[in-house]
Structure 1
Amino acid sequence: MLAYSVKIATRSLMRNKMISALMVVALAIGIGAAMTTLTLSRALSGDPLPGRSDGIFRVQLDAEPMRGHVAGGEPTKYLTRRDAEQLLAENRADEQAVMAAGVVGIEHPRIATGVAISAARYTSSGVFRMFAPPFLYGGGWGTAEDDARSRVTVISRKLNDRLFGGANSIGEILSLDGQSFRVIGVFDDWRPVPRFYDLSGDPFAEPEAVFMPYATAVDLELKPNGSTVCWGDVDALAGGAIAPNAPCAWLQYWVQLQPSQKRDYHLYLEKYSDQQRADGRFWRPANVRLRDVNEWIEFNKVVPNEVRMQTWIALGFLAVCLANSISLLLAKSLQQSGEVGLRRALGATRRQILMHSMVEVGMIGACGGLLGLLLTLIGLWVVRQQPDRYAQLAQLDAGMFAATFMLALAASAMVGLLPAWRAMQVEPALRIRAS
């Protein structure tokens, strides 16, 4: 029966080549536009820590003065040095990490210019246990290195390839800002998208090439290279905005909690804020936030507005293409009404007519899917030519490859249902008389 339906569908498609081609092209263009934008949107808004993101939270406290205070308003995104170090010392979470962006000068014989400027991350050892980045060689440092302010570093695979030719560099000495650091780990290919742990700059940038202990960076007075919010005079302070008691927030703070611990930790932060207010450090009522990774990404509106808008436009365009395909298929079914009536008169059941029609639209969907896949690949290539950094993430993976064909088949089924229903509803005698 299926073979017979395929034979009839092929004959029908070949008899009306122009209409069949227009339906395939309309379907392919709609699918190509939709899948291009959906692929890009999925790449930009995916979960950067699959299986872990709902247990890792960004901490916010409100340490600013009463000036400009709005009850229940959003607190600053960063913590002061005193608060971050105090929370780290009290150690109330399963895991925790303080961090800040930085810049270091790297000296190495393989650097032609003598010194290369590289982005760095000053952080504590909990980052490796929380984010679980893969390692090519070695691993991260531990709390002992944090406490000892050890001069150790973890570097990216790309930097390891540049300086050590990809060889195992564990134990090698690297000069960072004129200070000797021992390499203890090399990341494997690791690029969380978006770069959730620091969205203050480019959220789609690669992770920093150099990670070092936060306590060591503070000890060496290495300057941070991120956003800083100050609400008091820091010019007279030794160390400026990053001094231990400076009225400035510049540190990011992440914790890992079990679902049952979130409420208790939130209460702990409120009590901490109340205590700081009693001590005269905080002015505002307790106002804390705990957002998990995906909530933090959503709050910061990481996906560019133009990508969201283009996605909706493309889906609307797909709907228009489907409507045009339905019109073409209806026109085609009217042309073939006499043939359908004759087959019904010769004994074909409504179910068989429906099957013949759906096989035909299935073939159209398969052809439209193949052409739509080609148009999707071309569309993604065009996107990657754009200067935006996130454009380089427009890659078709296996999941979206399969989704392209699923969308093509689903779209063709939607296109074919109405014409097939109309074809199976008419009376054979009326069709034969009309023909």
Structure 2
Amino acid sequence: MIGYYISLAVRSLRRTPILSALMVAAIAVGVGAAMTTLTLNYMMSRNALAEKNDVLYAVQLDSWSSTDTVENPSEMPWQVTYQDAVALLRSDIPSKQVAMHRWGGPITLENSKIRPFIADARVTSRDFFSLFDVQFIYGGTWNSEADKNHTQQIVLSEETNNKLFGGENSVGRSVNFNGTPFTVVGVTEHWQPSPKVHDLNNGHFNDSAEAFLPFGLHRQFEIYPWGNTNGWKSEEINSYEDRLNSDMVWIQYWVQLDTAEDVERYGDFLTGYIREQKEQGRFPRPVKYGLSSPSEWLELNEVVDGDDRMLSWLSLAFLLVCLVNAVALLLAKFLRKAPEAGVRRALGASRKAVFSQHLVESGCVGLAGGLVGILLTLAGLGLIRQLQMGYMDRVASMDWAMMLAAIGLAILSSLLAGLYPAWRISRTNPSIYLKTQ
């Protein structure tokens, strides 16, 4: 029966091409506007670490002042101090754990015609690649000793390896980073999560690192982070060692806890560590720590802010306006078919059958509007990319899930718009039209 109703709907739409085109356009424009903003919000808020959402945790320690509260939803610093990061790395509870921060500098090859360029780097511990599922094209990561001691090794991104070595296997070769030779131990595949869940402190949608260096290099090179460094008290910093031992926060910390028991044990470990530090005069606030999954981390950091959500609501309001127009057009079209519906009713068709027939026709209008709406959405996203609005270039794209969502939204909207017109036509009194024949 549905197939028969669809056949009737197609014939009906062909009989009134201009009115049908207006109905499709009303749905398409509303869906296009709504899906453009919804797609941007979806791409901005999607969790690149969703597959590990139940085992990965961003670590926070409330080491702040007893009189001032950190102004963010968690009321704790986003990052930890260097001395706390080193202490946490000694725990054997997490199956993997990562301490890291952003760095950078000029990189080039010795005796090469390749001009030096500034590479955005990440100083991190060796578990970074396995914890965040960063795959290698060549080689692998450094050994565990490099996270504690001075080891001049480096992992390059695929893009950096292409620039320096033309994409060849560069493992074992040497590059100059910040004027110092480093031995390449690995080359990663292209890795560009968006948003950059692992480091929301340095831009939610910025490019990922072009090079990776061991965490144990700090003292040798007196590394200062390229990123946010915050503190709550005045400290006398006369040397780099003083900086490392200060209460300034600048290290991001992630752990992988595979079971609920591990989460509980690690929570007990953090509680015990904070109490130990309290005995040494640190951590003046009540005992508090944070273990946030990637999805919770995105929400805490407000990757999609209130303005973006408001824009989505406004676009849905515009879709509602388009639906009101679609209701008027559908009502006009269906009432023109009242004599036909009256004859069908006189021949024995039930009100339910007439209602279903016209509701299916509304769904067909929605399907056509959804397909055109996808084209309008793609055009809108393409325009955003043409405007070169920074990170928006990366998120202004539409995947298959959002395309299916656009068609679903269009069909649902058209069915809602068609409820009243279909109900009106199903209430047609056949006797009126039989007398006119």
Taking structure 1 as the reference length, what is the TM-score of the superposition?
Answer: 0.92
Task: Report how far residue 131 of structure 1 moved.
Answer: 0.9
CA–CA distance in 2 between the matches of 1:299 and 1:279?
30
Partner of 1:372: 373
Q: Which segment drifts farther, 211-220 or 35-44?
A: 211-220
2:416 counterpart of 1:414 = yes
Aligned residue pairs, count: 433
Answering whether residue 247 of structure 2 is matched by residue 250 of structure 1, we say: no
1:59 and 2:59 matched: yes
Aligned residue in 2 for 1:423: 425
Q: Give the secondary-structure state (helix, strand or coil) at the position aligned to 1:183.
A: strand
Alpha-carbon distance in 1 for matches of 2:420, 2:271? 60
- Give the whole-Å Cα distance in 1 for the aligned partners of 2:318 and 2:358: 25
Q: What does residue range 287-326 of structure 1 map to in structure 2 within 5 Å? A: 287-326=288-327
Cα distance, 1:99 vs. partner?
Answer: 0.7
8 Å CA contact 2:97–2:131 kept in 1: the answer is: yes
Equivalent residue runs for 1:264-343 within 5 Å = 264-343=265-344
The alpha carbon displacement at 1:148 in A equals 4.2
SS at match of 1:89: coil
How do 1:78-89 and structure 2 match up within 5 A? 78-89=79-90
The Cα RMSD (Å) is 2.4
C-alpha separation in 2, matches of 1:421 and 1:185:
67
Cα distance, 1:378 vs structure 2: 0.6
Alignment match, 2:47: 47
Counterpart of 1:394 (choices 396, 407, 421) is: 396
Over 3 Å counting, the alpha-carbon distance change for 1:347 and 1:247 in structure 2 is closer
| C-alpha distance in 2 between matches for 1:2 and 1:302 | 44
Q: Which consecutive unaligned segments of at least 5 residues does structure 2 have?
A: none
**What is the Cα deviation at residue 113 of structure 1?**
7.2
Change (3 A) 1:6 1:268: closer
Counterpart of 2:201 in structure 1 is: 200
Identity %: 37
Contact 1:354 1:420 in 2 (8 A): yes
Indicate conservation of the 8 Å contact 2:74/2:300, yes or no: no
The residue aligned with 1:190 is 191
CA deviation after TM superposition for structure 1 residue 8, in Å: 3.4
Deviation at 1:433, TM superposition (A): 4.3
Identify which range, 148-157 or 268-277, moves more after superposition: 148-157
Structure 2 Cα separation of the partners of residues 410 and 345 of structure 1? 31
Query: Displacement of 1:375 after TM fit?
Result: 0.6
Residue 405 (structure 1) aligns with = 407
Residue 44 of structure 2 aligns with an amino acid whose one-letter code is L
TM normalised by structure 2 equals: 0.91
Residue identity in the other structure for 1:122: V
Q: Is the 8 A contact 2:61 2:77 kept in 1?
A: yes
Asked whether the equivalents of residues 93 and 262 of structure 2 are also in contact (C-alpha less than 8 Å), the reply is: no
Q: Distance in 2 between matches of 1:152 and 1:49?
A: 27
Other-structure match for 1:210: 211
Q: Which amino acid aligns with 1:62?
A: D
CA distance, structure 2, for counterparts of residue 422 and residue 260 of structure 1:
61
State the Cα distance separating 1:111 from its structure 2 match.
7.5
Letter in 1 for 2:26: A
